[in-house]
Amino acid sequence: MQTETTTRTPPLPSRLPAVGTTIFTVMSALAAERGAINLGQGFPDFDCDPTLVGHVHAAMSAGLNQYPPMAGVPALREAVAAKVARLYGRCYDPATEVTVTAGATQAILTAILCAVHPGDEVIVLEPCYDSYVPNVELAGGRVVRVPLTPRTFRPDFDRIAAALSPRTRMIVVNSPHNPSATVWTREEMQRLEALLAPTDVLVVSDEVYEHMVFDGGQHVSASSLPGLAARSFVVSSFGKTYHVTGWKVGTVVAPSPLTAEFRKVHQFNVFTVNTPVQHGLARHLADPRPYLELPAFYQRKRDLFLDGLRQTRLVPLHTQGSYFQLVDYSGVSDLPEAGFCQWLTREVGVAAIPLTAFYEGGLEQRLARLCFAKRDETLQAALERLQRL
Ligand code: PMP
Ligand code: GLN
């Protein structure tokens, strides 16, 4: 019997039925289409340090172009461990506790996939970065959303405590915070440590903006508190620290039993990450100045942007860290956030991200997120447009 050839693509029930294109891609596309200044998606519009490019080039020219070890180039893992020890006082073993990833995005996904079993609960604090929830869903976990305190975006420990259950496997925290630009205090990190002490709950601590904390404030890494370090995957990203978001290289530090499970997934997820870039980053990390100078570099941009925003009808909220600035636009428009950001992009020529994008069900607060990781001229040009509002 002859079977008929079919060109029909079989139906594919979605693993992520509620997910569309990310808001960052949507707003960047709209900004490009309208020729708007893109303060939406978070990325610098200036170049990285040419020394770093030189280091990567040198590694490529020296023939360092084949697979590196699965966990990452040893020199880079050693440099990361030394930096974490110097800044946060905890010694991670580069051989068994430091892993190089394809950006923080893969680090977070792999940490969640290795730890979350179907039916496990994972607490996320809303508003939160848009990859966390789909990551938990891909692992078969159940997302438990706990709101940060409205307007101040501080963690509400009573609500976090109420969300803990015997099924809680993990909590995802993020400081400095995207999108609210708050930075957790030592007391807040200690409260998290105390709250989790009697539990077996693991932590993903997303610290990609660790070097962007302003006004003399300090980043308090989960690695600096023994009780948190013992249960945390601490995630960072060279994309943010060295102005190379397109390189997609990040790191995870975690105690060896957690790292062992992380690497089981990592080796079949990406196996390993770009060799010459890792060698270049290792050399660049030997000089602490670039990351130690980052707070002052971005604080100056924040202040320039803030001074200009004060001459608009937008009301800026306080930015403690990260490269984001929230603005309250209720004095300008009654539109909902998504509509306002589209209008701002199309009609005013400045792209922004609606805060609703970071909440399930889209809590409307008349807030928009602007990114100030831009050349001064870009910020000035955007401010001129915003001052006409
Ligand atoms: N977490 C947060 C809070 C972020 O803002 C970003 C930036 N996109 C990431 C993770 C992902 O970082 P990477 O580009 O290194 O994957
Ligand atoms: N982290 C960046 C932001 O929050 C963008 C990352 C992305 O486009 N996925 O804007």
Question: According to the model, what pLDDT value does residue 363 have?
Answer: 85
Q: How far is the CA of 289 from the centre of ligand 1 (A)?
A: 22
H or E element, residue 241: helix 238-241
For 263-319, the pLDDT digits (tens) are: 999 999 999 999 999 999 999 999 999 999 999 999 999 999 999 999 999 999 999
Euclidean distance between CA atoms 20 and 30, whole angstroms: 16
By most ligand atoms within 8 Å of CB, the mutation choice from 43, 108, 130, 206 for ligand 2 is 43
* 41 alpha carbon, closest ligand: 2
pLDDT for 133-168, tens place per residue?
999 999 999 999 999 999 899 999 999 999 999 999
Determine the Cα–Cα distance for residues 154 and 205; give it in Å rounded to an integer.
16
Determine whether the shortest distance from the Cβ of 131 to ligand 2 is under 6 A. Answer: no
* Mean pLDDT rounded to a whole number for the chain: 97
pLDDT score for 375:
98
Q: For residue range 237-262, what is the model confidence (pLDDT) as tens digits?
A: 999 999 999 999 999 999 999 999 99
The per-residue b/e assignment along 103-121, b for 16 or more CB within 10 angstroms, e otherwise, is bbbbbbbbbbbbbbeeebb
In the predicted structure, residue 86 carries a pLDDT above the cut 70: yes
Q: Is the pLDDT of residue 1 over 80?
A: no
Nearest Cα to Cα of residue 50 among 290, 262, 223: 290
Is 110 a pocket residue for ligand 1 (Cβ < 6 Å)?
Answer: no
Q: Which residue from 240, 242, 353 has its CB within 8 A of the most atoms of ligand 1, so it is best to mutate?
A: 240
Beta partners for 170? 122, 202
- State which of 22, 25, 100, 105 you would mutate to test the pocket of ligand 1, scoring each by most atoms of that ligand within 8 A of its C-beta: 105
**By alpha-carbon position, which residue is closest to atom 1 of ligand 2?**
42
Between the CA of 240 and the centroid of ligand 2 the distance, in Å, is: 11
CA of 178 to the centre of ligand 2 (A): 9
| 57 Cα–ligand 2 center, Å | 27
Ligand at minimal distance from the CA of 39 is 2
237 lines ligand 1 (CB under 6 A): yes
CA 178 to ligand 1: nearest atom: 3
Cα(136) to ligand 2 centroid in Å equals: 18
Binned at pLDDT 50, 70 and 90, residue 2 comes out as low
d(CA 260, CA 254): 9
Residue 65 DSSP symbol: -
Ligand 2 pocket, mutate which of 41, 135, 241, 326 (most atoms under 8 A from CB): 41
Instruction: Retrieve residue 381's tokens.
Output: 């040009």
- CB of residue 179 inside a 6 A radius of ligand 1: no
pLDDT computed for residue 361 by the predictor: 78
Whether 180 lines ligand 1, by a CB cut-off of 6 Å, is no
Residues 6+ apart with CB under 8 A from 131: 105, 108, 109
Distance from residue 21's CA to the centre of ligand 2 (Å): 12
